[in-house]
Amino acid sequence: MDFNLTGERQMLQDTLRRYLSDKYGTETRNTIIDSEPGMSGEIWAGLAELGVLGALFTEAQGGFGGQGFDISTVFEELGRAGVVEPVLDTAVLGGGLLAELGDDAQRELVEQVIGGTLHLALAHGEPASRFDLSRVETTARRDGDGVVLDGRKAVVVNAEAAGYLIVSARESGQIFDRDGISLFLVPADAAGLTLRGYPMFAGGRAAEVTLDGVALPATARLGAAGAGYAALTAVIARANVALAAEALGAMESATELTRDYLMTRKQFGRPIGSFQALAHRFSDLLIELEQARSAVIDAAGHLADEAASRDRHIAAARNLLGRAGRLVAEEAIQMHGGIAMTREYELAHIAKRIVMTDHRFGDTDYHLERFIELSAA
C-alpha cells in the first residue's frame, strides 16, 4: 500500500509549510495570543487565499478535498507550526455541519467560510456533559412557528469571533438519549444569547454561552428535528482525525527542536546529544513519532468507513497519540532543561498544544474505553 501523498496533497503541504514558516514564528504567535481577538485576521485571510479552508470541503460542498487525508495533511502542518487560528472550529466543525445538514440558504454560508469571511462555532458541550456527546440538557421548545432555546454551553471555542453559533438542544427524550437532539444556526447577535469569553491555555479563545429564551424561526434548524446526533458524531470523528494530525505535527516540531538543542548544547567539550543516555532517550522519541504517524494514517484512511469501524480506528489513534504525545512533550522539556519552559522559546507553546489536544473530544482514558467498547460490539 502506498502511503505517500498525492501530487495535489503534496503541493498543499509544501505551500502551507512555506507560508507558515515565513509568517508564523514564536514572536508572531505570542503577539497574536496576547491580542484581544486571540487570532490574526491577516493569517486567516492568508489561509483562505491559499485554499487551506477549501481543502477541508468536498467538491460538492464548494471545496476541493474533504477526505481524511486532506484533513490530516492540513492539520499536521498547522500542528507543526503551532497555529492558534480556529480552523478546526470554523471549517471542520461548524462548516462541516452546515455542509452536511443545511438547506440551500444555509449552505450558502459555506462559501463565506471557505472564502475566510465568516467564522463559526459549535456550541455543544455543557458544564456537566464531559465527553458524552448524547448528554444535552439545553432545551428547544416550540413556540408557534418557531423555537425557543434555553440552557448553557461550556468552552465554546471561537464563540466571540463567530458570526453564527451552531447550538445543540433537546427537543424530546431524556438527558442522555441520542434521539431528540436538534441543531440550530443561531446568529451571534440573537436576543437572549450572552457570552463570557476567556483565553485558552494553549492559545485561542473560548466562551461560556448562556441561552435565555433565544427565539428562532423554524428555518434556523439544521436538518430534521431531533435527528442531529448522527451528524454530530460524524463531524466530531473528522475533528478527532484533525486533532490527531495536529498532535503529530506538534510532536514533529518538538522532536526537531530537541534534536537541534542536543547537537548544539555542549558539555565537557562536546554536544550533549553524543552522550549515550540522552541518545537513547531521543531514539525513544523517534519510535513514538513513527507509531503516531502510522496511527494518524490509519485513522484518516478509515474516516469514510461505517460508523462503528470509523470510530474504533479513531479511538485507537487518539489513545495512542495521547500517550505518545505526552511522552514526547515531557521528554523534550526534560532534555532541554529550564529553557523549554520560557514563553520566548518555541517548545513551550508546542508542548502545550500537544498536551491540550488530549483534552478535547475525549482524553486518553476515554478513547481507550471507547475502543474496548467498540471492539467488543
Phi, psi of 190 (to 5 degrees): -65, 140
pLDDT digits (tens, 9 = 90+) for 265-294: 888 888 888 888 889 999 999 999 999 999
- Residue 147 one-letter amino acid: V
Which domains, ranges and CATH numbers included, belong to the chain? 7-118 (1.10.540.10), 121-227 (2.40.110.10), 230-376 (1.20.140.10)
What whole-number distance in Å separates Cα of residue 302 and Cα of residue 310? 5
Query: What's the grid cell of residue 151?
Result: 440552557
What whole-number distance in Å separates Cα of residue 24 and Cα of residue 32? 10
pLDDT band at 338 (very low <50, low <70, confident <90, very high): confident
pLDDT band at 135 (very low <50, low <70, confident <90, very high): very high
Q: What share of the chain is helix, strand, coil (3-state, %, to 5)?
A: 55, 15, 30
pLDDT digits (tens, 9 = 90+) for 43-86: 999 999 999 999 999 999 999 999 999 999 999 999 999 999 99
What whole-number distance in Å separates Cα of residue 90 and Cα of residue 76? 17
pLDDT digits (tens, 9 = 90+) for 85-125: 999 999 999 999 999 999 999 999 999 999 999 999 999 99
CB of 83 within 8 A of CB of 253?
Answer: no
Question: In 3-state terms, what secondary structure has residue 364?
Answer: helix
The pTM of the full predicted model, rounded to 2 decimals, is 0.95
Beta pairing, strands 181-187 & 221-222: antiparallel
- Residue matched to cell numbers 484512511: 301
**Ordered DSSP codes for 287-340:** HHHHHHHHHHHHHHHTTTS-HHHHHHHHHHHHHHHHHHHHHHHHHHHHHH-GGG
What whole-number distance in Å separates Cα of residue 185 and Cα of residue 165? 6
Computed over every residue of the chain, the mean pLDDT equals 94
318 CB-near residues (< 8 Å, 6+ apart): 240, 243, 244, 299, 358, 361, 362, 364, 367
Question: In 3-state terms, what secondary structure has residue 180?
Answer: coil
